[in-house]
A and B are shown apart, each in its own frame.
Chain A
């Protein structure tokens, strides 16, 4: 997993709330192997009509949006299905951060595991950013070390992030390796736990 520190890139806006993971990657693409990639499935049915023609009105279809690394959106982004493919599709399409008013819990955890930085800002701050990208993708800096989002005019918004997630993202570390070093603690806990709850064995 690539460490995340400072993302200085183009931001694109998706001014919608409750964008569920079925919208991010439709279920019919989920059977692919991870190595096949999911970039082409990102927002598939929002991007194009059933005949396969791209919808001009969809912000990610703007030619400059191809280079975007930051997505700005509203409440409850990534709600619904637990499919990690939603995060893979964003990462495969080049996104490194998503800024939203709130996230679905499972999506946020999945993002942490794949080097995608989920940033929660106040609604008025997100509206300010959406205004900034209204006429098309625009520059933005997201700094995980200082926990700040900065616009080119110097406007700054600070954000909170779970400190465990921050550390793992900064180090590019996946949890599974960290946990493996605790195996003897887990074994001891398990023995005592199963002694008290033998029906769990």
Chain B
């Protein structure tokens, strides 16, 4: 039916300033985030001789390069330290609000946006980071851009985009015990592939999505980019509004009522058409873990490392062989027989309070056998976890409790790095070769599975009873 629109189309149309002769749209940007990897965009802006058009619509925070212990002294490399300080200098020069190192609102940009109420339903939001798709969990059209586009947004508060196609992924049914949003998204990427949604914006729908908490939805949308999607969105509902109410930067008073009334109109119309439809039975999803060097290399934790000889496609077979060689794994090895050297719980995917609670539930009264660290997503998450006593549970289990930042997900601060050849059970989003450190080996999983791996010293099904516990 004409006139029916998807959630994405409603947001797109509301932000389209004009369409160029060659079909690109100039879109208005409600919210822009910058971080301590944005210096080259400011360089570009200065070279082009432009200023910042709307400084109050951009917010900054330090996350990529920050140390996670010993304050700024924990950042030993002067070049990296300069990146953290450069953000604050650039922000100050252009009158941009910045939650720099040590600020009570500092944290991973994709954690603080939603938790401060800076990310709102219906917004068009960009950031120079691919995991900006995270913010779509609140019903915003949010996507990552490169340095040139960051400079463009700073100068004009707009962005040119070719209209992406739409894809709906419907998850109906109930998630089984021990199955989290992380397992769902790893399962989805394993099903559609690392390039499966390229050129598309995904809308996640269905009873399996409605049942997810906001934290779970943020985890799910976060990894949309790992399927190649431009963005991932979930229609705002009562949970979204309840999550946002009272947040420091969320609207209040009459503005709040108007905003909520508007958000209620955003859901896709019942008869709106999508370019592609994918259906996933939530009941069929198991706790999921990766074996290779692409997020699509995902299998149930109860499965074994796949055998490339069973892969009919020659190119894919070659890629599997390369991945197995890099990961030093043999086909047929049960995933649960893989010993790990260290555990990282954190990242913009899984560092929110609910993630830390899930890890703490496993770690309570147990001891870890291998080095493990928990890096909260923000100062707010850190304070909340400490108020609940989660930090003490981690300490008793022998797990390091750190300060917020991207940390070992991207290994950019130069100290939170997985060593060469080491195997890391990680709650992050990318198992790319060298991502967590040169020659590092990454297995992606949920916080509960990572915590269980820390106790067992190997990959384990978090549904099975572990020894000890309280």
Contacts and interface: CB of A to CB of B under 8 A. Distances in A.
Interface string B128-145: 111000000000000111
A186 B160 CA distance: 12
Contacts of B318: 15
B24 A162 contact: yes
Interface stretch (B102-110, B434-442, B445-453): B434-442
B195 A18 contact: yes
Contacts of A83: 37, 146
Given A22-B435, A26-B434, A176 B152 contact: yes
A179 B24 contact: no
Contacts of A22: 430, 432-435
A27 B228 contact: no
Contacts of A23: 432-434
Interface in B1-59: 14-15, 17-18, 20, 22-24, 26, 28, 30-31, 37, 39-40, 43-44, 48, 50
B327 interface: no
Given A164-B23, A198-B258, A34 B146 contact: no
Interface stretch (A90-98, A99-107, A150-158): A99-107
Contacts of B195: 17-18, 75-76, 79, 102, 104
B157 A190 contact: yes
A35 B230 CA distance: 29
A182 B145 CA distance: 21
Contacts of A163: 22-23
A84 interface: yes
A197 B120 CA distance: 11
Interface stretch (A61-69, A109-117, A133-141): A109-117
Contacts, number: 190
B42 to A, nearest CB: 11
A183 B156 contact: yes
B433 A179 contact: no
Contact of B145 (A16, A18, A85, A106): A106
B22 A162 contact: yes
B194 A31 contact: no
A80 B164 CA distance: 18
Contact of B146 (A16, A84, A185): A84
A177 interface: yes
Chain A interface extent, by class: 35 or more
A106 B146 contact: yes
Interface stretch (B77-85, B206-214, B382-390, B455-463): B77-85
B275 interface: no
Contact of A27 (B79, B316, B411): B411
Contacts of A114: 148
Contacts of B22: 162-164, 166-167
Contacts of B149: 109-110, 113
Interface residues of B, number: 79
B371 interface: no
A50 B439 contact: yes
A26 B438 contact: yes
B40 A84 contact: yes
B319 interface: yes
Contact of A193 (B28, B160, B225): B28
A189 B53 CA distance: 14
B170 interface: no
Given A80-B430, A197-B262, A33 B40 contact: yes
A175 interface: yes
Contacts of A142: none
Contact of A113 (B129, B148, B256): B148
A180 B158 CA distance: 10
B17 A186 contact: yes
Interface string B309-330: 0000001101100100000000
B433 A105 contact: no
A122 B22 CA distance: 23
Contacts of B120: 199-200
B199 interface: yes
14 contacts: A23-B433, A79-B198, A81-B130, A105-B164, A113-B149, A176-B148, A179-B155, A179-B160, A180-B50, A185-B18, A190-B157, A193-B28, A197-B30, A199-B120
Given A106-B130, A163-B22, 11 more contacts: A15-B318, A16-B322, A22-B435, A105-B228, A106-B144, A113-B148, A164-B160, A177-B48, A182-B26, A197-B30, A197-B122
Cβ-closest 8 pairs across A and B: A163-B22, A84-B146, A113-B148, A76-B195, A110-B146, A199-B251, A164-B24, A164-B22
